[in-house]
A and B are shown apart, each in its own frame.
Chain A
Amino acid sequence: MRKLVILGSGTAGTIAANKLRRLLPRDEWDIAIVEQQGTHYYQPAFLFIPFGKYRAEKSKKPASKYIPAGVTRVSASVEKVDPEAKTVSLSEGTTLEYDYLVIATGTTPRPDQTPGMEDDWHGTVHSFYTYDDAVALRDKLADFEGGRLVIHITEMPIKCPVAPLEFAFLVDDYLTKRGLRDKTDITFVTPLPGAFTKPVAAASLGGMLEKRGIVLESDFMVESIDNNKHAVVSYDEREVPFDLLVTIPLNMGADFVGESGLGDELNFVTVDKQTLVHDTYDTIFAIGDAANIPTSKAGAVAHYEMDLFPENFVKHIAGKEMTEKFDGHATCFIESGAGKGMLIDFNYETQPLTGSFPFAFMGPLPLLKESRFNHMGKVGFEWAYWNLLLKGRPIPMSPHLSMSGKVVPSDD
């Protein structure tokens, strides 16, 4: 028997387990999945929980429910991988042997990596990227009476890079409805030179901040949080004071990735961006947020990867060339408040553009433009996530970017 071990049971790991169990004969392959947490969260909900728009408990389901029969579940955390011996050491002192390893342990917010960030955590310093953080921020916002609200990105890359902007649009809407917007200054602090990374989207999204009276503080590399002054302090000695800070801490891959010599400075696994195979060990792959590929860390990317990776994996273990090439495709709904949303669609080569997106059932959706349909698309996606996507059932969206409907800017 050959052995495949999958580390992590989040979006990418769960889809991989479902698809690979169907593709690999049971009498030839053992598949084991290491579940580092017993709960599977519907993470897009974390954006809505702080505004009381989504009942927090609804975002949680047992991870085991989505792992197929015929896959051995191991509840433990990963201590270390020995890529030469092809073993994984687990928290309770056990060791798993593998022929092939798939790392899907994601990315984790690390407030401990910025001096001062943890000192007043859930006091005046908040976030919304974990379940507990989203719930704590909901309670904080419910008591908020106005003042200086600062939304802050520590460093790129982060999971779901549009979420901080969505938070800005939604909090503007939320405070307006509560009659507090006039009593609140909102500042958006980012290490990027603008509201977003790529020029066309940065211009659209920057304009949306301006329209809402949200101040953009760009090129801001945070050095520390000063808890006496209640200010975010940059390396070039700028200070942005706050009464409530909503920060996106440094994102890092799992510690074991670094300790096993498999990753970059941020513990993201170094892989080939088209095939996801490790750049040193051809028995190791990384999928989803855990990989260091230059595209968004997002569920949509994990999903598109999983339309190509399983077939590639089957070819690879048969000694054949991996012919499916991942293009970095990402599709993101962006909530813009007041029941509207935007949509962006891009890959390694093509930046997010305006135009329309071909979408099954609902017809073309407008790109980079606010529309009620985009919001409905985002809300409707949750059913598909639990019932189709995690189980590896087909969703009619192409893993490769399509230029159909997109408006390409001229060179001048």
Chain B
Amino acid sequence: MPTTTLSGHEVHVDDEGFMTEYDEWTEELGAELAKQIGIDMTEAHWALIRFLREDYLVKGETATTRRVQAAGGVPVKQQFALFPKKPAKKMAYIAGLPKPAGCV
């Protein structure tokens, strides 16, 4: 598994750069990941990232945009406004979680 250096920390990532170790993530690293993909983080962004982190602990998988709307209370439209174009993928990237499972 490849590693990369983020803000001076060595972390494990997959081949698309998604962090693979839940416990290696910190908000500092989240901020760095957000910067990489051009997201200017506000409190509204962080609230979603925290929801995703907590939900992952309970469910064992990354929440979909539908689940973020249903269980996290943030409408899909707003998720698109905060994380343009690909909200599910971008939120997972910043939260240090696996990309939401490609459905089959």
Subset of 10 A-B contacts with CB under 8 Å: A156-B103, A161-B104, A192-B103, A197-B102, A197-B103, A198-B104, A223-B76, A236-B85, A265-B67, A294-B103
Mark B63-104 against chain A: 1 for CB-CB distance below 8 A, else 0. Answer: 011110011000011001000111000000000000001111
Closest to B103 in A: A156
Give the CA-CA distance A290 to B30 in the complex, in Å: 36
Give the CA-CA distance A192 to B104 in the complex, in Å: 10
Question: Which residue of the partner chain, among B67, B70, B76, B102, contacts A221 with CB atoms under 8 Å?
Answer: B76
Give the CA-CA distance A68 to B76 in the complex, in Å: 46
Chain A's nearest CB lies how many Å from the CB of B21? 21
Closest to A201 in B: B104
Give the CA-CA distance A221 to B66 in the complex, in Å: 11
A157 and B104 contact, Cβ closer than 8 Å, known pairs A223-B77, A235-B76: yes
Give every chain A residue within 8 A of B67 (Cβ-Cβ). Answer: 264-265
A219 touches B102 (CB 8 A): no
Assess whether A11 is interfacial by the CB under 8 Å rule: no
Give every chain B residue within 8 A of A157 (Cβ-Cβ). Answer: 103-104
Give the CA-CA distance A197 to B99 in the complex, in Å: 13
Q: In terms of DSSP, what is the predominant structure of the interface of chain A?
A: loop
Chain B's nearest CB lies how many Å from the CB of A248? 13
Chain A's nearest CB lies how many Å from the CB of B86? 6
Give the CA-CA distance A330 to B104 in the complex, in Å: 10
Assess whether A216 is interfacial by the CB under 8 Å rule: no
Give the CA-CA distance A20 to B98 in the complex, in Å: 39
A295 touches B104 (CB 8 A): yes
Closest to A298 in B: B104
Give the CA-CA distance A236 to B85 in the complex, in Å: 6
B66 touches A265 (CB 8 A): yes
Question: Which residue of the partner chain, among B70, B86, B104, contacts A294 with CB atoms under 8 Å?
Answer: B104
Query: Which B residues lie at the A interface, using CB under 8 A?
Result: 64-67, 70-71, 76-77, 80, 84-86, 101-104
Question: Which residue of the partner chain, among A161, A219, A265, contacts B103 with CB atoms under 8 Å?
Answer: A161
Not counting A161-B104, A235-B80, A266-B66, a sample of 18 additional A-B residue pairs whose C-beta atoms are within 8 angstroms of each other reads A155-B66, A156-B103, A157-B103, A161-B103, A192-B102, A192-B103, A197-B104, A219-B85, A221-B65, A221-B76, A221-B80, A235-B76, A235-B77, A236-B85, A264-B67, A265-B67, A265-B71, A294-B101
Query: Which A residues lie at the B interface, using CB under 8 A?
Result: 155-157, 161, 192, 197-198, 219, 221, 223, 235-236, 264-266, 294-296, 330, 346
Give every chain A residue within 8 A of B66 (Cβ-Cβ). Answer: 155, 265-266
Closest to A297 in B: B104
Chain B's nearest CB lies how many Å from the CB of A162? 10
Give the CA-CA distance A192 to B88 in the complex, in Å: 12
Give the CA-CA distance A173 to B66 in the complex, in Å: 36
Give every chain B residue within 8 A of A296 (Cβ-Cβ). Answer: 104
A346 touches B77 (CB 8 A): no
Give the CA-CA distance A113 to B71 in the complex, in Å: 17
Give the CA-CA distance A235 to B83 in the complex, in Å: 12
Closest to A223 in B: B77
Give the CA-CA distance A197 to B102 in the complex, in Å: 6
Most chain B Cβ neighbours within 10 Å, of A156, A221, A223: A221
Closest to A295 in B: B104
A265 touches B104 (CB 8 A): no
Give the CA-CA distance A235 to B84 in the complex, in Å: 9
Closest to A266 in B: B66
A236 touches B104 (CB 8 A): no
Closest to A219 in B: B86
